[in-house]
Amino acid sequence: MSIDETVRAIQKYSSKYEETVVDFSGGRYSVVLLHLVLRALGEAKVAYIDTTISLPECDRFVNEVCDAWGVDLITLKRKDVDFWGLVKKRGFPHRRFRWCMKEFKSVPLRLFNQAYDAPLHLTGTSKHESSFRKKIYDVRGMFHYNYSIRSFVLHPLLDWTETMVYDYMEKNYLPLNPCYKEYYGSGNCYYCPFISSLLYYTNLARLQHNLFSKIVDAENAMRKGGGAVYVGKGRVLRLGTAIPRFNSGSLKGVKLPECEAKAFSKELYTCQKRCLM
């Protein structure tokens, strides 16, 4: 889908609703989407979900972009529960059982939609981010009703590739979330069951040791010695012991992918989803 086609799609669907909200995570797709919405509609209202495990750099970036672009920012955050408190009760989220998505994204959005009479949500989802996502959205399409948040959702960037996103950012001089340089991801959640990169957690321990310590504390609270990273076939990796050994070069049985080894001497802005996970 071209830029003009994307802009027209935003205009077409938004005209049918009294309220349109951009779900903004601070990631590169979100930045491009917000810029396109401003081009299409002249104004934008943003909903940023504070998952309670967002990196502070990501929080600052979101606020800075919205301030600079004159966007109405609404931060959604659950105050009745804490992510790490639930981890200690339920265990770490699993790739096939991401209870965190429901508790810290769907629930806040659903409550928000009830208060705002179910506005149209625009997201930066792209089906090219994974083969699994492509299968889902090839059936679901760009526009559909999301029963989890009880509102209609439009994905204007569904057919956009990563190259298209970076080309658009470069041509329009759009800012890039600093978390991509430091952590190789947007930083909306500093812990995720889909992140298994030792390089990522090494950087997290170095740059945000107090946040990394919360992961280790949760591991220690597990009755059967649970680990934060699932490595397959029922096995888990305890970051509290793995990262110190990894830094000292004594972690046996774990071989770094070539891209991850290169990352120690080369800046990588985007490879977390393709290679580091």
Contact 144/153 with Cβ under 8 angstroms? yes
Task: List pLDDT tens digits, range 167-207.
Answer: 999 999 999 999 988 887 888 899 998 888 888 898 899 99
**pTM confidence score:** 0.85
Helix 209-221 to helix 239-247 angle (10° resolution) is 130
Which domains does the chain carry? Answer: 3-179 (3.40.50.620), 183-262 (no CATH)
How far apart (Å, rounded) are the C-alpha atoms in residues 184 and 188?
A: 12
**Number of residues in the chain:** 277
How far apart (Å, rounded) are the C-alpha atoms in residues 234 and 263?
A: 29
Amino acid at 108: P
Contact 34/65 with Cβ under 8 angstroms? yes
- One digit per residue, the tens of pLDDT, for the chain of length 277 reads 899 999 999 999 999 999 999 999 999 999 999 999 999 999 999 999 999 999 999 999 999 999 999 999 999 999 898 899 999 888 899 888 889 999 999 999 999 999 888 899 999 999 887 777 788 888 888 999 999 999 999 999 999 999 999 999 999 999 999 998 888 788 889 999 888 888 889 889 999 999 999 999 999 888 776 788 887 777 788 888 888 876 665 555 555 555 545 544 444 444 443 343 3
Strands 143-146 and 151-154: antiparallel
- The upper half-sphere exposure of residue 200, i.e. CA atoms within 13 Å in the direction of its Cβ, equals 27
